[in-house]
Structure 1
Amino acid sequence: MRSFFSSFFAALLALIIFSIIAFFVSLGIIGVITARLTSHKTKVGTNAVLYLDLSTPIQEQGRTDDVSSFFGREDATSPGLFQVVRLLRYAKTDSSVRGIFIRAEGNANGFATSQELRHALEDFKTSGKFVYAFGDVIDQKAYYVANAADKIYCNPAGAMEWTGLSTQVMYLKHALDKLGIEPQIFYDGKFKSATEPLRTDKMSDANRLQTGEWLGDLNRGLLTAASESRKIDTATLAGFEQTGAIQTAHDADKYHLVDGTRYRGEVVEELRHKLGLNAGADINFVSLSKYADAIDLDNDATDRIAVIYAQGDIVYGAGQEGEIGCDEYVKWIRKARQDDHVKAIVLRVNSPGGSSLASDIILRELLQAKKEGKPVVVSMGDLAASGGYYISCGADSIFAEPGTLTGSIGVFSIIPNLQGFFKDKLGVTFDGVKTAPFADQGTFSRPLTDAEKRFAQAGVDSTYTEFKTNVSKGRHLSLDQVETIAQGHVWTGERALSIGLVDRLGHLQDAIDCAARLARIKEYGLTEYPEAKSALERYFKNYGHGVAAKAVKDELGPEGWTTLQQMRRIKAMVGQVEVRLPYDVDIR
């Protein structure tokens, strides 16, 4: 027995010592990585051509993978949208950069993001430097950005999409009926169609009307941009959509939507000639990721403007990465509010909404900043709807892109009744004891009583009234005026301007300029939130979750992963009062 305990404690001690050593070795490795990253500076070289791949989604805020950067991977840094815009502005006067090459296979970004990218490319062209674009198969959203180029080419064996825009919604009512699931839905706003897929089998007339409005607005934006770039009137371009005239690359060339059909190698050879290089010489293509590593955009001025990026679903609590957790965002807003060097706050919103409670908590903190004399300006990205508009409505000034989807001032709640599913499909029943009539209110195992339904609708009505009241105060509109533009109606930024939901059409830089004017400062630097986490923090917080998420994503594939995320979102909505967009907007 004594020998056993001796061996046991010796092994335990060795394990503890090994764990301690491993921990400090890990710290040392991370420290070496951090030190190398601090001292390492990427070189752009000469005759550089910036490489913009539209199929890579651009987030609002940039991210850096320290480990990938340590091993020299060019995709280690993912610059955010505003960083990309500033890089392109910097490149205008950077003597090492000769031009830009756009890979226009597809566009993974939303319409507002694409509008800001297109504007940045047009601004870059004023330098006299070239912009070329090429795609094997060019879809409409990619074409919208790429046709800002001096030359745009398509693979002769490829195709170009020019069919107009469409969006489709999956309706689940009949499936729920077959499963014996009753959604039990409560909502305010005839346009608030978030719950339609659960309570009907097709679009309501109101939803069809509003969807036609904003989809038509986006399509007109595509036509107008192409008309300006290609010198073709919008009626002719619309006719191509209606007749399906553009199917192949040769069709696009025939009707002058592209500058010719070329293979990629031929386009590269044309670029070599443009750069004055010998045939077959390597072109110094520089990704935006690499360029971001090489260029320092910081301004160390004492006066600061805080730019707070709010991207993702709005959730109660801390939230996960990619979500707007009210606890975290209140912390960032408060930090900016209490920082004497920060003279104004710009909230960049790209969100379909979410929890009404979390939205209200964030709005209150922004209003507190205003109360203490700090200007608050909102810049809207692809989406700033429902809860995304809720957190925006109290700002001193609101900027949106023409293609922003915003508004959707409406409320809903879902409390499913699974009694039929459990009993008829699974043979499972529930029973229990309670001390008061409403002690088990909201349980999934039985239908709501009439009284409980009244309570649920009253909660939705109360939140809707609070939402409209906040909009009324923030936008200086009467409640009657708000009601006419609320009702859950989704608007493009262009229409939102005409009805008073936003103040100006413009980009994030326009919003920052406005904030500087309101704060009466001329020289300023930017302080961005959420603050970048150190390599050590990201390692310990994200390693396990990241590995698990990647494994599931690899197993399910992109479509399965999207479905899983949607199911997770629906689960989070159940039993909560929600202010969010009708559904995930998928535009083709």
Structure 2
Amino acid sequence: MKFLGNVLAVIVGLLVFSVISFFILAGIIAIAASSEGEVKIKENTVLVLNLEGRALVERTSEDQIDLNSLPGFGGIASVGLVNLKKAIQEAAKNENVKGIYLQAGMVSAGQAMLHELREELISFKESGKFIVAYSEIYTEGGYFLSSAADEVYMNPLGGMEFNGIASEIIFFKGLFEKLEIEPVVFRVGEFKSAVEPFLLDKMSDENRLQTSVFLNDLNDFAVAKVAESRSIDLEKAKEINSQMLVRKNSDAVDLNLVDGLWYEDQVKDLLREKLGLDEDDDINTINVTTINKDAKTKNILSKNKIAVIIAQGEIVSGTAEGVIASESFVKEVNRAKNDESVKAIVVRVNSPGGSALASEVMWRALEEAKKEKPIIASMGEYAASGGYYISAPADTIVAQPNTITGSIGIFGLWFNAEGLMKNKLGLTTDVVKTGELSDFLSFTRQLTDLEKSIFQNNIEDGYDTFISRVADGRNMTKEEVLEVASGRVWSGIQGKENGLVDVLGGLEDAIEIAAIKAGVEEDYKVAYYPQVKPWFEKLMADLTNDVQTRYMKSKLGSFYPVYNELENIKKYEGMMLRMPYDLIIE
């Protein structure tokens, strides 16, 4: 009977799921149908930028649909920086759009991408139009972005995080000791600390130094921008931030970080006042997707193109989604190189690095393309280690002041699981081999001195190649590169000071530089590569991933970050060019 009951429960569950799915799908189709056709922007319209709970990525589909109104979805997980900037630019030009209503207190993004979006908002204000920001809760990054608005409001019972940034690392030494797993590390560079979580139980002095330096750089930059936008004395802003002087909501008003503690209906009344509407009048609004349909791309009829190749994620070999896969990347580079209408290539790098082999394959493709056309690198949130490797061939490297870059170093990681297998699991192995090294790097035993020397020599050769690639690309001597290498991470500001970066700026700056170098600065259009998946296909993939992630989080709770880090270890195959660790800045 229990078995029969379980079967019936499953059948009923499937029926319920099917019915719900039918209505949700019908709703999606209705939204899609209503979004088609000519866009007409009404007079007295406000562009709504609702980034609450969204992850800021480089680019999303042009036909992205807002599913906030549908039950069970809660909005699309990501929003594209390129899409947002395009919408803001169009709003500045369109006489029917009078201002922006920004909701971004809980946006998920790194500081460099937030800065690029923030700069676009500040440029928008030059049009004489208003920006009003409101949120119930402001995170550090969310407030950094929102502070660009003319007026900033917060819910009376909300909250604000304006207390500096921190980065915390999970160390696995104790876990491996309990499991009797011995990590064996091969590396070059005193700052190449990507392997420290496997060997130590706290940061090395070198790693603490570099992390402290670039975190302070990033924080000082953000605080200075907030102070400027909010007309607060810089030293006072630093004091507020370092001592967390916003300890209750009224403090945020008293310290001029927000203009008032209001409810959203009060903010809507303010928008009506700015638009000259009566209190019962509806506010005409438009979202990013809709306004972009009405946007006119610069010189859209031009035959000259600047190709922007988006390179976001970890660097791996082959083809894969959500990462920078070497085979896919090379295909896009060659496509742009062989297209006669493409006059220059901008590589938009947002990567902590990854496989050394994949990085070399992509470097080669860019080096060959450079013989035909100008190559400009635009660094986003981070372009470190392998991310810097693929930036090195560029004629010009552009980075934000708060970009994380450098980390020029290399490492390899191997695990001896003999103790785990024998003492914990009761497993033993035996081997027959034809040569002394036929079972080279077996994980069931300790490495021999010969194996260690071979692996270490390969790591040192890989490091020498990395240094040479940077030296050739930057017109520096190997000795000059070595002074800023050793795996050390730098901010964009520091990168420019030590010769790793040419220009401080964003993607638009890189595109303009590319157009100038190609001699087409007065006549070009921008083409983005690779092609973005249609919104529905992306939605289905995201839903599947979201279900898997939610399930693991519900099962593991606070141990989920540890599980996630252990899953990432599986990617460490061969020689790696990667940032010191998975950088989570809070």
- What is the TM-score when the length of structure 1 is the normalising length? 0.88
Q: Establish whether residue 586 from structure 1 lines up as the match of residue 581 from structure 2.
A: no
AA partner of residue 551 (structure 2): E
Per-residue CA shift, 1:114-162, capped at 9, x if unaligned?
1111100000000110001112221221111111111111122222222
Residue matched to 1:492: 491
Q: CA deviation at 1:246?
A: 1.1
Q: Check conservation: 1:64, 1:78, Cα contact below 8 A.
A: no
Q: CA deviation at 1:105?
A: 2.4
CA distance 1:259–1:68, shift in 2 (3 Å): closer
Q: Which moved more, 1:289-298 or 1:350-359?
A: 289-298
Q: Establish whether residue 121 from structure 1 lines up as the match of residue 103 from structure 2.
A: no
Residue matched to 2:394: 395
Q: Which moved more, 1:87-96 or 1:332-341?
A: 87-96
Aligned mates of 1:425, 1:42 — CA distance in 2 = 66
Q: Check conservation: 2:102, 2:132, Cα contact below 8 A.
A: yes
Q: Establish whether residue 140 from structure 1 lines up as the match of residue 140 from structure 2.
A: yes
Q: Check conservation: 2:90, 2:292, Cα contact below 8 A.
A: no
Residue matched to 1:238: 238
Aligned pairs for 1:407-426 (under 5 A) are: 407-426=406-425
Q: Secondary structure of 1:554's partner?
A: helix
AA partner of residue 116 (structure 1): E
Residue matched to 1:229: 229
AA partner of residue 586 (structure 1): I
Per-residue CA shift, 1:267-324, capped at 9, x if unaligned?
11111111111213322232223333443436231011111000000001112x2110
Residue matched to 1:513: 512
CA distance 1:235–1:401, shift in 2 (3 Å): same
Gaps of at least 5 residues in structure 2 are 1-25
Gaps of at least 5 residues in structure 1 are 1-28
Residue matched to 1:569: 568
Residue matched to 1:553: 549
Q: Establish whether residue 317 from structure 1 lines up as the match of residue 313 from structure 2.
A: no
Aligned mates of 1:65, 1:570 — CA distance in 2 = 36
Residue matched to 1:475: 474
Q: Check conservation: 1:399, 1:511, Cα contact below 8 A.
A: yes
Aligned pairs for 1:2-401 (under 5 A) are: 40-55=37-52, 56-63=54-61, 80-297=80-297, 299-319=300-320, 321-372=321-372, 374-401=373-400
Aligned mates of 1:43, 1:570 — CA distance in 2 = 51
CA RMSD of aligned residues (A): 2.6
Q: Secondary structure of 1:416's partner?
A: strand
Residue matched to 2:503: 504
Aligned mates of 2:535, 2:139 — CA distance in 1 = 38
Residue matched to 2:8: none
CA distance 1:450–1:132, shift in 2 (3 Å): same
Q: Check conservation: 2:55, 2:77, Cα contact below 8 A.
A: no
Aligned mates of 1:250, 1:295 — CA distance in 2 = 41
Aligned mates of 2:34, 2:579 — CA distance in 1 = 41
Q: Check conservation: 1:76, 1:289, Cα contact below 8 A.
A: no
Residue matched to 2:21: none
Q: Check conservation: 2:165, 2:219, Cα contact below 8 A.
A: yes
Q: CA deviation at 1:77?
A: 11
Q: Establish whether residue 456 from structure 1 lines up as the match of residue 455 from structure 2.
A: yes
Q: Check conservation: 1:62, 1:77, Cα contact below 8 A.
A: no
Q: Check conservation: 1:409, 1:488, Cα contact below 8 A.
A: yes
CA distance 1:157–1:549, shift in 2 (3 Å): closer
CA distance 1:41–1:315, shift in 2 (3 Å): farther
Q: Secondary structure of 1:368's partner?
A: helix
Aligned mates of 1:499, 1:115 — CA distance in 2 = 22
CA distance 1:130–1:555, shift in 2 (3 Å): same
Aligned mates of 2:61, 2:535 — CA distance in 1 = 12
Q: Check conservation: 1:63, 1:78, Cα contact below 8 A.
A: no
Q: CA deviation at 1:52?
A: 1.8
Per-residue CA shift, 1:451-473, capped at 9, x if unaligned?
11111111111111000000000
Q: CA deviation at 1:67?
A: 8.8
CA distance 1:290–1:66, shift in 2 (3 Å): closer
Per-residue CA shift, 1:458-508, capped at 9, x if unaligned?
111111100000000000111111011000000000110000001000111
Per-residue CA shift, 1:364-405, capped at 9, x if unaligned?
111101112x00001000010000000001100000000100
Residue matched to 2:7: none
CA distance 1:76–1:161, shift in 2 (3 Å): closer
Per-residue CA shift, 1:334-359, capped at 9, x if unaligned?
01001111110000000000001101
Q: CA deviation at 1:205?
A: 0.6
Per-residue CA shift, 1:60-107, capped at 9, x if unaligned?
1222577989x9999679652123212211211112211111113223
CA distance 1:548–1:225, shift in 2 (3 Å): closer
Q: Check conservation: 2:167, 2:584, Cα contact below 8 A.
A: yes
Aligned mates of 2:65, 2:100 — CA distance in 1 = 28
Aligned mates of 1:387, 1:402 — CA distance in 2 = 20
Aligned mates of 2:51, 2:382 — CA distance in 1 = 19
Aligned mates of 2:221, 2:567 — CA distance in 1 = 34
Q: CA deviation at 1:256?
A: 1.3
- Identical-residue share of aligned pairs (%): 38
Aligned mates of 1:426, 1:418 — CA distance in 2 = 11
The alignment of Structure 1 onto Structure 2 pairs a total of residues equal to: 550
AA partner of residue 61 (structure 2): R
Q: CA deviation at 1:163?
A: 1.3
Q: Secondary structure of 1:366's partner?
A: helix
Q: Check conservation: 2:182, 2:417, Cα contact below 8 A.
A: yes
CA distance 1:462–1:210, shift in 2 (3 Å): same
Aligned mates of 1:43, 1:291 — CA distance in 2 = 9
CA distance 1:561–1:526, shift in 2 (3 Å): farther
Aligned mates of 1:108, 1:79 — CA distance in 2 = 10
CA distance 1:566–1:437, shift in 2 (3 Å): same
AA partner of residue 84 (structure 1): L
Aligned mates of 2:122, 2:501 — CA distance in 1 = 25
Residue matched to 2:3: none
Q: CA deviation at 1:46?
A: 3.1
AA partner of residue 368 (structure 2): Q
Q: CA deviation at 1:166?
A: 1.1
Aligned pairs for 1:424-463 (under 5 A) are: 424-463=423-462
Q: Check conservation: 2:62, 2:83, Cα contact below 8 A.
A: no
Q: Secondary structure of 1:133's partner?
A: strand
Aligned mates of 2:564, 2:551 — CA distance in 1 = 14
